[in-house]
């Protein structure tokens, strides 16, 4: 494999030399000389995580890195968002994005550089903070790509726009940056690319998928209302817990009996709370739902059906109408542009070899990178292998699943992940921004 990569790098180098453009190193070669520094930077971000919309120090360090590489940098976009611009003549504008925020997870990896950060959350409780979703990899990766592009300006033409986005974990950061004029104060990109680590994909590999890749995500809160009283005299009450139980079952028929079987959809009741004591029937019961879909038509269908089912249960119990709230945490489904994906996939194969580029399965997870696509920019988010293949094989041998993202014991094999991430993203950038002559 190493020999193949070297041959590919030499081939690309010769192509550029023959066209009169001087290229010092291909990204997959260049990254080896920078890897030690990028890993050090990754460990810094890993051990200094910050929660959504609190990414002040993370943003400051990222801004300093980009400034040192010659980018025009603006901070404070949509919270702690960072925008860096590197203009290099006439050509398209390409946006590359990393997310900045960590999760309220107490790290249990045992790594020497593990996060020991604890903070108070919005509810006032002390929580651990951990980069359990790989955003620290994303940040170090984009620093590497930005550094490579700045050092090889003879290789491309156009404008490179790199952004550090806050609050991806809350599904709110992209919207905040857009509302703060991301595509008005700065050039609206012709294309946008991002990556996300994958805990089930081996290092050295990437995955991609054209079309729908990630889901619409909506959070729904339902307060079922009744009339409280003594548990020994239920006939004098309207029991909200019984209504809630009926509603949980009724909700399951929406996907199984109302949505076309070929359309992906999920309704999960993740939380249900009601009552205070054995012999007391309360006034209310509260349910929290996560709702997933791909198309806007199905998204609307699910949310309307949830309201209808909740009202129907209340009518059946002669109860007051329930309160149904769709929270502001929702993110739209992520649709990878077909033409952009078809253009970049061969680049990945050239850099990594066909055997290391996989067609990813669509996921019901969510990502607010989708909002840039909804704003009219062709986007591509691809998956980056994050766990050494030998580790994955050992999990399989033991009959275990590898720790998922958001797990307190998840950690990437970062050296190989960064090699692949920088190589593929920088190569994709060179493809988009390649000179016409």
Set 101, 218, 239, 367: catalytic member: 101
Task: Give the side-chain half-sphere CA count within 13 A for 201.
Answer: 24
Beta carbons within 10 angstroms of residue 266's beta carbon = 14
Residue 211 main-chain phi, psi, to 5 deg: 80, -155
Strand 216-225 to strand 323-326: parallel, antiparallel, or no bridges (unpaired)? antiparallel
Residue 370 main-chain phi, psi, to 5 deg: -55, -30
Set 28, 99, 168, 367: catalytic member: 168
The DSSP-derived string for 151-178 is: HTGGG--EEEEEEEES-TTTT-HHHHHH
Token pair 């909700």 is found at 251
Residue 190 annotated to the active site: no
Residue 101 annotated to the active site: yes
Provide the 3-class DSSP secondary structure of residue 222. Answer: strand
- CB-count burial class (<10 Å; 0-12, 13-18, 19+) for 398: exposed
Beta carbons within 10 angstroms of residue 190's beta carbon = 17
Token pair 């001087």 is found at 22
The DSSP letter of residue 1 is: -
Catalytic residues: 101, 168
């Amino acid at each position: 494999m190493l020999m193949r990569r070297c041959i590919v790098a030499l081939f690309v180098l010769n192509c550029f030399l023959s066209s009169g453009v001087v290229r010092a190193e291909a990204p997959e070669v260049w990254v080896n000389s920078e890897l030690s520094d990028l890993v050090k930077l990754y460990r810094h971000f890993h051990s200094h995580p910050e929660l959504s919309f609190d990414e002040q120090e993370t943003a400051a360090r990222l801004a300093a890195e980009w400034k040192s590489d010659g980018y025009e940098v603006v901070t404070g976009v949509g919270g702690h968002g960072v925008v860096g611009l590197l203009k290099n003549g006439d050509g398209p504008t390409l946006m590359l994005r990393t997310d900045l925020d960590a999760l309220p997870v107490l790290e249990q990896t045992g790594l020497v550089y593990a996060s020991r950060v604890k903070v108070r959350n919005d509810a006032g409780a002390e929580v651990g903070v951990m980069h359990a979703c790989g955003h620290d990899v994303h940040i170090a990766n984009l620093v590497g790509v930005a550094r490579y592009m700045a050092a090889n300006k003879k290789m491309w033409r156009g404008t490179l726009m790199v952004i550090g986005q806050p609050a991806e974990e809350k599904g709110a950061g992209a919207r905040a940056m857009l509302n703060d004029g991301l595509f008005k104060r700065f050039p609206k990109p012709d294309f946008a690319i991002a990556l996300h680590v994958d805990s089930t994909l081996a290092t050295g590999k990437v995955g991609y998928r054209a079309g729908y890749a990630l889901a619409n995500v909506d959070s729904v809160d339902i307060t079922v209302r009744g009339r409280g009283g003594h548990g020994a005299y239920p006939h004098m009450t309207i029991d909200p817990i019984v209504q809630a139980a009926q509603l949980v079952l009724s909700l399951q028929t929406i996907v199984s009996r109302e949505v076309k079987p070929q359309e992906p959809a999920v309704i999960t009741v993740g939380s249900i709370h009601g009552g205070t004591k054995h012999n007391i029937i309360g006034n209310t019961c509260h349910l929290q739902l996560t709702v997933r879909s791909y198309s806007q038509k199905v998204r609307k269908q699910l949310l309307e059906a949830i309201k209808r089912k909740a009202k129907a249960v209340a009518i059946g119990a002669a109860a007051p109408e329930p309160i149904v709230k769709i929270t502001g945490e929702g993110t739209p489904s992520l649709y990878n542009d077909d033409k952009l994906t078809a253009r970049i996939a061969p680049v990945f194969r050239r850099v990594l070899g066909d055997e290391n580029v996989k067609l990813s399965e669509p996921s019901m997870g969510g990502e607010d990178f989708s909002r840039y696509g909804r704003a009219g920019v062709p986007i591509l988010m691809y998956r980056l292998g994050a766990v050494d293949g030998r580790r994955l094989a050992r999990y399989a041998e033991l009959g275990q699943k590898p720790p998922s993202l958001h797990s307190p014991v998840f950690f990437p094999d970062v050296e190989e992940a960064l090699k692949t991430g920088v190589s593929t993203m920088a190569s994709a950038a060179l493809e988009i921004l390649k000179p016409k002559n």
